[in-house]
A and B are shown apart, each in its own frame.
Chain A
């Protein structure tokens, strides 16, 4: 049985590789965009005593960890609105679909929510890839999507409302903060996909114009967990801070390696844009205490609206569940939609959009007062830099003072010409 088996072993290796590749691909469902309805706009079904709203999140697959919490926050808002009498006298009926962390599935489910359930609006998506997959579906059907996560900007769609931060509400203020703290040289570490690469392009343009030095730039494949070399490079560069756009599991390995290499938050802080309260819990405060994050909301944000939100969330889902920025933005998006519908006096999508674009849609959100910026369909948000504490919560150390006007194409920044 055991003899000269070299060629066999090579064949075995090929077979293993094939199986691994199969796992990575998962189920692809092909062209899922489907056909648009005849004659233009999506029809909202308002015949019953309730109006359906769509919830489109990954409830399985790699993104489920994050997206389930967003779905929970949306449900909380829907329940609250229903308890207070609904919208225009109608109760909201949430229809939840699973995007399964697979982008064609997102497009397919979006089409289903629009044409089969005839929902008034859809709330959800997390990754930029899923948003880009459903964007044509919403545009073709003229239906509404509310997208609650910070993203790389450089996008506007007439049928999407962006309630998370665009770059000038998160990354640019974070750089302003680092500069004001005397951190004049940075090292960029990120995962290898669209958000980190776009973010780093913006950071380099900012640095070139403001005299900040970018001492290095490294990308790790998504899911990579070997960071000894990158950390060695960061250490050797002598940068005064690290700008971290890593996503997911990689953060765990990166921060463990970072601490092992003797690098500290005092000497060389790491500013992360993808680590919120939920991620802090799974990386461990042992490795994160003292490091910085950039968001627009923390569980510790002061204000009566946030006290109420945190209390309601924990009462519904468990005392050990933290609230985070994307969850808050998702919760807020439902209330913003309600304000638009009430202003329009109708669930009809074009009327709702017109009401929003006319301006004056506001909501006293947990993060503070948010206002929808009519033309860009983004929202004004206060930028906040936070420091991770030993209790796993994030304490604000700096904020932009007032809500920052969204500028997805960075048109108001002279150094950013040529980026879009």
Chain B
């Protein structure tokens, strides 16, 4: 029983990590339809921000809390820079964007290697996040995983509120649903694009902060994550947040369950096969956005 609960929680926590790394992409790829291969490197930028902050702020707990907003801004600004300099010029050419952003991701990786050195760096986690929370005597849940789950849910909630209730959210949705009509109605679509890209990239920064608690921090960390992030968004369906959320948790639990009874490699294969089969059946993903747009 304790094993079942432990394993179920493992699945949910894998899902939470997937959700965090995919959430920003759900906005930039899902809503704006920009294929940003450098998204993983924005995550890396967030993680390195924690490292840099810890050189200044000695308390591990305080530095982690400060890192959340700072990483959001750092990664967000990197995103805006990328949008203004390159992506904006390639909106009509998605495959060119793919190649260009891939190049940017290589440049960012090498930059990290030059600045911080090729070996991984280590950050200190606050003591409270390196232990576990005991639900009963034999059911213990890693507190870092609980923190990540909380962070992921908070990020989804915040993003939902912004999209549903603020005027910025209304403008983003208008541009996503029908860019031409939004432009004709007097919206500055370029400005909205930049803001959307800022938020999406900033969320990658937050994911980076979370990942310092569970994984290595090095120049290559982004490349390991980017494919999973795209998978979640594509399977979840373009243009909808709820698809991304549901798919992240379903894939997490599926991975954990299959992995427990087989091995890591077999589990990855089975999850991939399941995804391919699902996309055969529903190529548009779990949810789609219906619009009257013609394109």
Q: How far is the CB of A250 from chain B (nearest CB, A)?
A: 8
**Contact mask A215-243 → B, CB, 8 Å, 1/0?**
00011110111101110110110000000
- Asked, given contacts A2-B239, A12-B35, A261-B132, whether A220 binds B264 with beta carbons under 8 Å apart, the answer is yes
Chain B nearest Cβ from A327, distance in angstroms: 14
- CB contacts (< 8 Å) of B213 on chain A: these are 256
Cβ of A108 under 8 Å from chain B: no
Name B81-99 residues within 8 Å CB distance of A.
94-95, 98-99
With A and B bound together, what is the CA distance between A261 and B226 in angstroms? 27
Interface size on B, residues (CB 8 A): 71
Whether A252 contacts B216 by the Cβ 8 Å rule is yes
Pick the residue among B220, B226, B231, B264 that contacts A218 (CB under 8 A).
B264
Taking a contact as CB atoms under 8 Å apart, the answer to whether A252 and B120 are in contact is yes
Tell me if B61 counts as interface (CB < 8 A to partner A). no
> Do B145 and A228 touch (CB < 8 A)?
yes
Q: A281: which B residues are within 8 A, CB to CB?
A: 119, 122
Considering the complex, which residues of chain B in the window 143-179 have a beta carbon less than 8 Å from any beta carbon of chain A?
Answer: 143-145, 176-179
How distant is the Cα of A17 from the Cα of B10 in the complex, in angstroms? Answer: 26
Interface residues of B in 129-146 (CB under 8 A from A): 130-132, 140, 142-145
CA distance A5 to B239 in the complex (A): 10
Judge whether A229 and B256 touch: CB under 8 Å. Answer: yes
Q: How far is the CB of A220 from chain B (nearest CB, A)?
A: 5
Tell me if A's interface is mostly helix, strand, loop or mixed.
Answer: helix
The answer on a CB contact under 8 Å between A19 and B102 is yes
Other-chain residue from A2, A219, A228, A236 in contact with B179 (beta carbon distance below 8 A): A2
Nearest CB of A to B260, in Å: 5
Q: Which of B35, B234, B263, B294 contacts A3 (CB 8 A)?
A: B294
Q: Which of chain B's residues 68-124 have a Cβ closer than 8 Å to chain A? A: 94-95, 98-99, 102, 118-124
Q: Mark B229-245, 1 if CB is under 8 A from A, else 0.
A: 01100100011000000
User: Does B289 count as interface, using CB distance less than 8 angstroms?
Assistant: yes
Beta-carbon contact of A2 and B216 below 8 Å = no
Cβ B264 vs Cβ A12 within 8 A: no
Q: Do A228 and B294 form a contact, CB below 8 Å, given A65-B119, A256-B144?
A: no
B50 to chain A, nearest CB (A): 13
Taken together as a complex, chains A and B put the C-alpha atoms of A192 and B266 apart, in Å, by 12
Q: How far is the CB of B108 from chain A (nearest CB, A)?
A: 14
Which residues of A approach B to under 8 Å, CB–CB?
1-7, 9-10, 12-13, 15-17, 19-20, 23, 62, 64-65, 68, 192, 218-221, 223-226, 228-230, 232-233, 235-236, 249, 252-253, 256-257, 259-262, 278, 281-284, 286-287
Residues in chain B within 8 A of chain A (CB atoms)? 3, 6-7, 10, 13-14, 17, 33, 35, 37, 94-95, 98-99, 102, 118-125, 130-132, 140, 142-145, 176-180, 213-216, 218, 220-221, 223-224, 226-227, 230-231, 234, 238-239, 255-256, 259-260, 263-265, 268, 279, 282-285, 288-289, 291, 293-295
Q: List 27 A-B contacts (CB under 8 A).
A: A2-B176, A2-B177, A2-B295, A4-B284, A5-B33, A6-B282, A6-B288, A9-B238, A9-B284, A13-B234, A15-B98, A16-B98, A19-B98, A192-B264, A223-B224, A225-B216, A226-B14, A226-B17, A229-B10, A249-B220, A257-B214, A260-B144, A260-B145, A262-B140, A282-B218, A286-B124, A287-B130
